[in-house]
């Protein structure tokens, strides 16, 4: 009975994997809707796919005092803006003393770079023709949703200077006067809104209301952010740019990955026999899931080192299996049956796998939250790899092995196990009866508890 | 078989794998010492101890504006020509500058198509102001040489029936006047008279140009071929770019270092919480060991350090700690049973290492397989990434087997001796004599 259901379960897992593999590599179209394969949907970095570039030049007539450090500051803010938008692999470099060169990966139209960076907008609040505060007084501009009014807004936090000026402008005697919020893009002024002063605002928070959509609010917030740049920039040129490494590098890495994966599978099957085969099968599932997550999680732009990192994570994913199998071997050597060794092996290996992976997760999470640019992107890839490999070893491989053992739990040879000196004549499944009994007892116990709990509840209601 | 025997000996119950504690620490010490010496020598002879790549140092850019002449088909051909020009660029005395191309990109399309090249600065002996040297000498020469890309040279030049026949790769209709001037000045230099109306275009094929000339020119055809190469008025020029800053900004680097430091502290806290403070310290020391060995390796072999190296370091950071924890997990387990039997920490550590040795070796093999494939099959730029990782993996395996358990045992024994100087030594003695 158990054997039959195990075969069915294994077939289902196998089928799901095949479907996953197809979805990963073959684009499918239903009527007019097209689904890109996971592998194709993964965004690639500048080195593998190229993207667009734009060169910004400092506007004429600006002060050149501290130019170098101001350019550095502008560059950092631009880079942060790009990372915020999920372009962790975008680069910003100084080109000479007065220009910045931005490269954004995996975008095909040069015009899109403006969608990403936004056209820098200068902001000012005017009261009766006098400027109250400008974008320079803005510490941060974020898109928000005003639940009371039910509309999207841009919230501004002002610096101390701006707070004082804004407080003075909104004092009681100016009540009911209009404040105009004006932005200047490419030298053209436009008034976004002219709210009336209701109350004095002392906390340094200003809100721009009347945004049409979340997108509009976000765009304005970005424009204001880029308008605060220490150096005013205009676009000099922008166009597409080819990958620095190109298609050959990508293809060779993929070939290397496939060969490496195949060798690992051969190694595992030779050393751990049936267990190794299960691990190899899990490895295929791991690859499918990895591709899926890389495709859907934002902030991932795979670069060549990223691919190498994933290949390495495949090696590390096997690691957890090796730990478990060595444990199982050890337990079997020590006289347990195959089934009992399996239970003990997974149980004992659990904490060592958990602890070792959590430590790495800590490192990855810190790098994600505190690192910048490409470090952040690499940390995401690392985190996906670790969490997935832990899940694979502790959940997926474990279940598959259980089903396989239900089909056969008596062949030493099949699993590559060997008895220790003291237990040479012990049968491979000699203690199975007792284990199965304990298993059944545990299950009865669980069911009993459930029934009991339900019963208890029923009793209480009565 | 021999290997198997050695291995059997290693895992033998009574063999103390951590016995030669001094040797364990001497090996990495020697590697670091080698790196220091190598770094010092490189620093004195080549100007810098580390071979920092363009990502860290920045450099210069050259934009070769080929305009519509550049197509997807001929891009690779142009790139290899450009790379050759960089590689062969020499000063007036024929001394090669040693320029290296860091990256080449196909930029824009149609009218604005160009090839964007980035390269690092080069130093010459006796030059103090590198930027001026680059801008006023090297870059100027480079732009000059790159102009060859915008010239059209005849494919063949022959002399027949009183006329030179020059065949060009493309139409010369627009450039006929210039060819005429070139031909006449060549004639003047060589004492051959070429008349004003001597140059004509073939009526059927505008790629072919005829120049009526006396027979004497037949001996000078090779010189004439050079003279007849003309600038293509429609293609662009090599724009000598500016200084390009590093892609890895100082801030990214500072952030990365701070993040790694914070990560180490948090990992230490976690390990101390789940295991012991001594395990945490030992694990972190092992981690530092791996990173230092990686650095030593790239220093000794002068491997170029680029942004990818940061990625390699982060990878090893994760991998190494993983490895170490597995052994500490076994130590934690064995502590419960063996300490009761009075075994000193060194014996517990040694036993735990032996019990997990097969696992350590097997996981290193599986991880090495994939990354070694990348190193073997991959392109040079990825090899630069894969090699330090391979070294890091080996260092990580070494440190998790030898360094961290040893550090842990030493720490533990010190603690015990301080707490109970007499008994612990006696137990140790008893155990040694029993062995």
Pairing between strand A130-134 and A121-127?
antiparallel
Query: What pLDDT sits at residue A458?
Result: 39
CA distances from A73 to A63, A94, A448, B250 (A): 15, 11, 67, 11
Mutation pick from B370, B371, B376 vs chain A, by most beta carbons of A within 10 Å, is B370
Q: What percent of chain B has pLDDT over 70?
A: 90
Measured between alpha carbons, how far is A218 from A212 in angstroms, rounded to an integer? 11
Q: Which residues of A touch B378 (CB under 8 A)?
A: 249, 252-253, 256, 308
| In B3-137, beta strands by DSSP E | 59-64, 101-107, 114-119
Measured between alpha carbons, how far is A210 from A333 in angstroms, rounded to an integer? 74
Interface of A with B in 87-106 (CB under 8 A): 91, 93-97, 99, 101
- From A168, A124, A385, A416, select the one nearest A270 (Cα to Cα): A416
Evaluate whether the domain defined by A2-25+245-440 bears CATH number 1.20.1640.10. Answer: yes
For residue B324, tell me if it sits in a domain: yes
pLDDT band for position A104 (cuts 50, 70, 90):
confident
Tokens of A462: 């009565």
Measured between alpha carbons, how far is A260 from B369 in angstroms, rounded to an integer? 6
Q: CATH code at B275?
A: 1.20.1640.10
For residue B331, tell me if it sits in a domain: yes
Three-point CA angle A290, A295, A299, nearest 5°: 105
Same domain, B414 and B376: yes
pLDDT band for position B18 (cuts 50, 70, 90):
low
CA distances from A283 to A390, A397, A455, B271 (A): 12, 9, 44, 29
Decide which of 3.30.2130.10, 3.30.1360.200, 1.10.10.10, 3.40.50.2000 is the CATH code for A121-228: 3.30.1360.200
Q: CATH code at B64?
A: 3.30.70.60
Residue A232, φ and ψ in degrees, nearest 5: -80, 130
| Nearby residues of B335 by Cβ (< 8 Å), 6 or more positions away | B348
Q: Indicate the residue of B325, B368, B371 with minimum beta-carbon distance to A359.
A: B325
- From B299, B294, B336, select the one nearest B313 (Cα to Cα): B294
A51-116+237-241: what CATH class?
A: alpha beta
- Indicate the DSSP class of residue B52: B
Query: What pLDDT sits at residue B305?
Result: 85
Tokens of A365: 């999470």
| Nearby residues of A238 by Cβ (< 8 Å), 6 or more positions away | A52, A53, A54, A55, A110, A113
CA distances from B185 to A384, B191, B194, B221, B391 (A): 70, 10, 9, 14, 63
Mutation pick from B135, B259, B261, B275 vs chain A, by most beta carbons of A within 10 Å, is B259
Q: Which residues of A touch B275 (CB under 8 A)?
A: 355
Q: Which residues of A touch B371 (CB under 8 A)?
A: 260, 308, 311-312, 315
Q: What is the mean pLDDT of chain A?
A: 79
How far separated are the first and last CA of chain B, in Å rounded? 27
Tokens of B425: 């030594």
- pLDDT tops 70 at residue B17: no
Same domain, B309 and B341: yes
Q: Indicate the residue of B252, B371, B379 with minimum beta-carbon distance to A372.
A: B252
pLDDT band for position A461 (cuts 50, 70, 90):
very low
Give me the number of domains chain B comprises. Answer: 3
* Closest A-chain CA to B54: A93
- B95-109, B130-144, B237-251: which range is least confident on average? B237-251
- From A324, A318, A343, select the one nearest A405 (Cα to Cα): A343
Give the residue-averaged pLDDT of B181-195: 82
Task: Answer whether A348 touches B (CB < 8 Å).
Answer: yes
Looking up tokens 């990686």, which residue turns up? B294
Same domain, B142 and B186: no
Q: Which is higher by pLDDT, A113 or B430?
A: A113
Looking up tokens 């936004």, which residue turns up? A118
* Closest B-chain CA to A377: B311
Dmax (CA) for chain A in angstroms is: 100
Contact A224, A143 (CB under 8 A): no
Contact B316, B290 (CB under 8 A): yes
Contact B322, A316 (CB under 8 A): yes
Contact A305, B308 (CB under 8 A): yes
Query: How many other C-beta atoms can be found within 10 angstroms of the C-beta atom of residue A77?
Result: 16
Same domain, B340 and B403: yes
- Indicate the DSSP class of residue B305: B
**Residue ranges covered by each domain of chain A:** 2-25+245-440, 51-116+237-241, 121-228
Give the residue-averaged pLDDT of B367-375: 86
H/E run at residue B51:
none
pLDDT band for position B10 (cuts 50, 70, 90):
low
Measured between alpha carbons, how far is A233 from A238 in angstroms, rounded to an integer? 14
Query: What pLDDT sits at residue A228?
Result: 67
- From A436, A421, A205, A196, select the one nearest A338 (Cα to Cα): A436
What does the pLDDT look like over B194-222, one tens digit per residue?
877 778 888 888 888 888 888 777 777 77
What does the pLDDT look like over A216-239, one tens digit per residue?
787 777 777 766 676 777 777 788
CA distances from A421 to A412, A417, A424, A425, B122 (A): 15, 13, 6, 9, 68
For residue B320, tell me if it sits in a domain: yes
Half-sphere exposure of B243 (CA within 13 A, CB side): 17
The DSSP annotation for A378-406 comes to HHHHHHHHHHHHHHIIIIIIHHHHHHHHH
Pairwise CB contact (< 8 Å): A243 & B105: yes
Alpha helices by DSSP H, A204-337: 214-227, 247-296, 304-333
Give the residue-averaged pLDDT of B219-226: 78
Pairwise CB contact (< 8 Å): A375 & B329: no
B123 torsion bin: left (phi>0), alpha (psi -120 to 50), beta (else): beta
Pairwise CB contact (< 8 Å): B310 & A244: no
Measured between alpha carbons, how far is A267 from A278 in angstroms, rounded to an integer? 13
- pLDDT tops 70 at residue B29: yes
For residue B336, tell me if it sits in a domain: yes
Measured between alpha carbons, how far is A408 from A428 in angstroms, rounded to an integer? 11
Q: Which is higher by pLDDT, B357 or A111?
A: B357
What does the pLDDT look like over B297-326, one tens digit per residue?
999 998 888 877 888 888 888 788 888 888
Alpha helices by DSSP H, A147-197: 160-169
- pLDDT tops 50 at residue A459: no
- pLDDT tops 90 at residue A94: no
Contact A406, A429 (CB under 8 A): no
Task: Answer whether A80 touches B (CB < 8 Å).
Answer: no
Query: What pLDDT sits at residue A269?
Result: 92
**Interface predicted TM-score (ipTM) of this complex, two decimals:** 0.75
- pLDDT tops 50 at residue A286: yes
Q: Which is higher by pLDDT, A175 or B431?
A: A175
Half-sphere exposure of A2 (CA within 13 A, CB side): 11
Q: What is the mean pLDDT of chain B?
A: 81
H/E run at residue B188:
helix B176-190
Q: Indicate the residue of A352, A363, A369 with minimum beta-carbon distance to B321.
A: A363
Give the residue-averaged pLDDT of A272-281: 90
pLDDT band for position A163 (cuts 50, 70, 90):
confident
- From A232, A210, A218, select the one nearest A118 (Cα to Cα): A218
Query: What pLDDT sits at residue B234?
Result: 57
Alpha helices by DSSP H, A86-139: 112-117
* Closest A-chain CA to B107: A241
Measured between alpha carbons, how far is A272 from A413 in angstroms, rounded to an integer? 10
Measured between alpha carbons, how far is B260 from A304 in angstroms, rounded to an integer? 22
Contact A19, A70 (CB under 8 A): no
Contact B114, B66 (CB under 8 A): yes
- A38-52, B2-16, B57-71, B363-377: which range is least confident on average? B2-16
Measured between alpha carbons, how far is B224 from A256 in angstroms, rounded to an integer? 52
* Closest A-chain CA to B371: A312
Same domain, B253 and B222: no
Query: Which residues is B47 bridged to in the sheet?
Result: none
Query: What pLDDT sits at residue B1?
Result: 47
- Indicate the DSSP class of residue B267: H
Measured between alpha carbons, how far is A430 from A338 in angstroms, rounded to an integer? 9
Pairwise CB contact (< 8 Å): A316 & B367: yes
Task: Answer whether A387 touches B (CB < 8 Å).
Answer: no
For residue B69, tell me if it sits in a domain: yes
Same domain, B65 and B213: no
Mutation pick from A254, A352, A379 vs chain B, by most beta carbons of B within 10 Å, is A352
Query: What pLDDT sits at residue B240?
Result: 67
The CA distance from A431 to the nearest CA of chain B, in Å, is 25
Pairwise CB contact (< 8 Å): A374 & B310: yes
Q: Which is higher by pLDDT, B141 or A30?
A: B141
Query: How many other C-beta atoms can be found within 10 angstroms of the C-beta atom of residue B208?
Result: 19
Same domain, B277 and B407: yes
Q: What percent of chain A has pLDDT over 70?
A: 87
Final residue belonging to a domain, choices B201, B228, B255: B228
Measured between alpha carbons, how far is A225 from A141 in angstroms, rounded to an integer? 6
For residue B233, tell me if it sits in a domain: no
Query: What pLDDT sits at residue B434?
Result: 44
Q: Which is higher by pLDDT, A288 or A40?
A: A288
pLDDT band for position B290 (cuts 50, 70, 90):
very high
Tell me, letter by letter, the H, E, C secondary structure of A20-72.
HHHHHHCCEEECCEEECCHHHHCCECCCCCCEEEEEEEECCCCCCCCHHHHHH
For residue B182, tell me if it sits in a domain: yes
Domain that holds residue B133: 59-150+238-244
- pLDDT tops 70 at residue B394: yes
Pairwise CB contact (< 8 Å): A355 & B325: yes
What does the pLDDT look like over A287-339, one tens digit per residue?
889 888 988 888 788 887 777 778 777 777 888 888 888 888 888 888 788 88
C-alpha dihedral (A12, A17, A22, A28), degrees to nearest 10: 60
Same domain, B326 and B199: no
- pLDDT tops 80 at residue A13: yes
B99 torsion bin: left (phi>0), alpha (psi -120 to 50), beta (else): beta
């Amino acid at each position: 009975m158990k054997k039959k259901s195990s075969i069915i379960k294994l077939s289902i897992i196998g089928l799901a994997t095949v479907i996953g593999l197809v979805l990963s590599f073959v684009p499918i179209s239903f009527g007019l809707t097209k689904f890109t394969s996971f592998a194709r949907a993964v965004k690639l970095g500048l080195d593998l796919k190229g993207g667009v570039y734009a060169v910004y030049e400092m506007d004429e007539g600006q002060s050149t005092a501290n130019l170098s450090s101001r350019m550095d500051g502008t560059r950092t803010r631009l880079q942060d803006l790009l990372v915020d938008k999920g372009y962790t692999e975008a680069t910003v470099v100084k080109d000479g003393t007065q220009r910045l060169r931005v490269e954004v990966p995996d975008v095909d139209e040069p015009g899109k770079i403006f969608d990403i960076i936004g056209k820098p907008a200068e902001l000012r609040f005017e009261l009766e023709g006098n400027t109250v505060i400008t974008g320079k007084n803005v510490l941060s501009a974020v898109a928000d949703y005003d639940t009371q009014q039910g509309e999207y807004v841009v919230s501004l936090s002002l610096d101390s200077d701006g707070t004082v000026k804004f407080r003075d402008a909104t004092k009681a005697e100016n009540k009911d006067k209009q404040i105009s919020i004006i932005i200047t893009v490419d030298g053209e002024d436009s008034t976004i809104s002219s709210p009336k002063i209701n109350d004095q605002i002392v906390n340094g928070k200003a809100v721009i209301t009347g945004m049409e959509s979340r997108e509009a609010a976000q765009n304005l917030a970005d424009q204001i952010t880029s308008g605060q740049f220490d150096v005013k920039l205009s676009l000099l040129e922008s166009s597409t740019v080819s990958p620095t490494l190109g298609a050959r590098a990508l293809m060779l890495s993929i070939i290397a990955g496939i060969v490496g994966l195949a060798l690992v599978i051969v190694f595992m099957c030779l050393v751990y026999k049936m267990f190794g085969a299960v691990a190899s099968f899990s490895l295929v599932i791991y690859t499918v899931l990895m591709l899926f997550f890389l495709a859907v999680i934002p902030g991932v732009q795979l670069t060549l080192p990223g691919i190498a990192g994933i290949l390495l994570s495949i090696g590390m994913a096997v690691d957890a299996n090796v730990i478990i199998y060595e444990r199982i071997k050890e337990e079997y050597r020590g006289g347990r049956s195959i089934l009992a060794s399996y239970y003990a092996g997974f149980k004992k290996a659990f904490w060592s796998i958990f602890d070792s992976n959590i430590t790495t997760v800590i490192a990855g999470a810190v790098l994600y939250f505190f690192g910048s640019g490409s470090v952040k992107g690499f940390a995401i890839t690392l985190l996906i790899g670790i969490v997935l490999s832990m899940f694979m070893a502790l959940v997926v491989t474990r279940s598959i092995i259980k089903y396989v053992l239900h089909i056969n739990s008596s062949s030493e040879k099949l699993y590559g196990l060997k008895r220790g000196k003291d237990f040479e004549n012990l049968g491979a499944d000699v203690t199975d009866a007792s284990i199965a009994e304990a298993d059944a007892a545990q299950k009865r116990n669980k069911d009993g508890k459930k029934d009991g709990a339900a019963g208890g509840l029923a009793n209480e209601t009565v | 078989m021999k290997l198997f025997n050695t291995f059997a000996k290693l895992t033998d119950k009574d063999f103390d794998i951590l016995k030669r504690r001094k040797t364990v620490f001497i090996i990495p010490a020697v590697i670091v010492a080698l790196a220091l010496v190598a770094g010092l020598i490189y620093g004195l002879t080549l100007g810098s101890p580390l071979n920092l790549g363009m990502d860290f140092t920045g450099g210069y850019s050259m934009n070769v504006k080929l305009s519509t002449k550049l197509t997807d088909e001929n891009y690779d051909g142009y790139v290899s020509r450009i790379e050759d020009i960089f590689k062969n660029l020499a000063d007036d005395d024929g001394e090669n500058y040693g320029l290296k191309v860091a990256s080449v990109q196909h930029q824009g399309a149609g009218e604005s198509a160009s090839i964007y090249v980035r390269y690092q600065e080069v130093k010459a002996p006796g030059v103090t102001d590198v930027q001026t040297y680059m801008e006023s000498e090297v870059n100027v020469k480079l732009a000059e040489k790159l102009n060859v890309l915008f010239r059209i040279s005849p494919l063949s030049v022959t002399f027949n029936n009183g006329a030179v026949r020059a065949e060009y790769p493309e139409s010369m209709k627009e450039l006929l006047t210039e060819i005429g001037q070139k031909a006449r000045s060549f004639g003047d230099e060589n004492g051959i008279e070429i008349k004003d109306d001597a140059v004509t275009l073939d009526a059927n094929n505008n790629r072919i140009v005829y120049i009526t000339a006396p027979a004497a020119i037949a001996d000078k055809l090779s010189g004439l071929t050079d003279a007849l190469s003309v600038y293509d008025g429609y293609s662009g020029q090599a724009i000598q770019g500016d200084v390009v800053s590093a892609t890895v900004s100082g801030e990214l680097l500072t952030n990365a270092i701070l993040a790694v430091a914070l990560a180490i502290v948090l990992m230490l806290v976690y390990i101390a919480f789940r295991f012991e403070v001594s395990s945490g310290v030992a694990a972190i020391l092992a981690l530092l060991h791996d990173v230092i060995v990686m650095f030593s390796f790239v220093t000794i072999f002068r491997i170029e350090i680029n942004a990818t190296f940061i990625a390699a370091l982060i990878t090893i950071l994760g991998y190494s700690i993983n490895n170490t924890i597995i052994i500490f997990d076994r130590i934690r387990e064995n502590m419960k049973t063996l300490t009761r039997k009075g075994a000193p920490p060194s014996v517990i550590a040694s036993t735990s290492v032996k019990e997990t040795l097969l696992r350590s070796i097997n996981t290193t093999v599986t991880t090495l397989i994939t990354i070694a494939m990348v190193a073997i099959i991959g392109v040079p730029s990825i090899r630069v990434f894969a090699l330090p990782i391979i070294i890091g993996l080996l260092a990580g395996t070494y440190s998790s087997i030898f360094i961290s358990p040893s550090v842990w045992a030493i720490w533990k024994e010190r603690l015990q001796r301080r707490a109970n100087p007499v008994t612990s030594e006696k137990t140790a003695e008893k155990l040694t004599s029993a062995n």
